[in-house]
């Protein structure tokens, strides 16, 4: 009787183990199907050009550099006194155009030095 009970317990444990493994495989298959569907959707998704985000430096912007390549960058500006080689104004912007900062930089230089430039060389 004891041998029969042990055999029945062993058979029951084996059946339970087999069912548990079957359920684990089914769960893995379901999870894989969800993962596959997500990867397919991500492959089809295309963000709009303005929808880009830089998580490392969110204040920087995509700008075209002198080589024609697009890079994540800032635009640094400086005004220098040509006679004494002293920086009289400096600024960093996210605007790729230097022309838009021209008057602002001259005003900052005049404020810092107390004198307006009579002549300016702009590059």
Backbone angles phi, psi at 89, to 5 degrees: -160, 145
Span 99-119, pLDDT tens digits: 888 899 999 999 999 999 888
Q: Tell me which residue of 50, 119, 33, 53 sits closest to 82, measured CA to CA.
A: 119
What does the domain layout of the chain look like in residue ranges? 1-45, 61-113
Q: What is the pLDDT of residues 4-59, one digit of tens each?
A: 888 888 888 888 888 888 777 766 666 777 777 777 777 777 767 666 778 888 88
Rounded to two decimals, the pTM is 0.52
């Amino acid at each position: 009787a004891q041998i029969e009970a042990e055999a029945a317990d062993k058979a029951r444990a084996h059946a339970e183990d087999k069912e548990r493994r079957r359920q684990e495989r089914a769960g893995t298959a379901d999870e894989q199907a969800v993962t596959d569907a997500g990867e397919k959707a991500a492959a089809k998704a295309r963000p709009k050009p303005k929808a880009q985000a830089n998580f490392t430096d969110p204040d920087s912007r995509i700008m075209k550099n002198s080589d024609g390549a697009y890079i994540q960058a800032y635009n640094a500006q400086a005004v220098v006194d040509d006679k004494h080689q002293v920086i009289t104004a400096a600024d960093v912007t996210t605007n790729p155009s230097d022309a838009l900062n021209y008057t602002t930089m001259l005003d900052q230089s005049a404020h810092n030095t107390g004198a307006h430039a009579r002549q300016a060389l702009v590059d």
